[in-house]
Amino acid sequence: MRERVLEIAHDVGFDLAGIAPWGPPPDAARFEAWLDEGRHGSMGYLERGRAAAVDPPAAWPGGRSLLALGLGHSRDPIELPGGGRIARYAAGRDYHNVIGKRLSKLRRRLEAEGLARPGPGFVDATPLLERSHAAAAGLGFASKAANLLHPRFGPWFFLAELVLDVDLEPTSDAVSHGSCGTCTACIDACPTDAILEPGVVDSRLCISYATIEHRGLVPHEVREELGPWAFGCDVCSEVCPWGSKAPDLAERFGLRPEFGSEAGAPGETLTGLLSWGTRPAEGREARFAEAFRGSPLRRPGPDGIARNGALALSSAPAERGRDALLSALESAAEPLVRAAAAWSLARAHLNDDGVRAALDGAVRKEPDTAAAQDMRTSLERG
As annotated, the active-site residues are 124
Beta bridge partners of 200: 197
Strands (E), the chain: 16-21, 65-72, 78-79, 85-86, 121-122, 141-142, 148-149, 157-164, 195-197, 200-201, 229-231
d(CA 311, CA 316): 10
Is residue 122 helix, strand or coil? strand
Give the integer Cα–Cα distance in Å for 172 and 180.
19
User: Among 180, 136, 146, 143, which residue's Cα sits nearest to residue 39?
Assistant: 146
Beta strand pairing status for 157-164 and 195-197?
unpaired
Q: Beta-carbon neighbour count of residue 44 at 10 Å?
A: 9
The number of C-alpha atoms within 13 Å of 126 and in the hemisphere containing its C-beta is 16
Phi, psi of 285 (to 5 degrees): -60, -45
Q: What is the DSSP letter of 89?
A: G
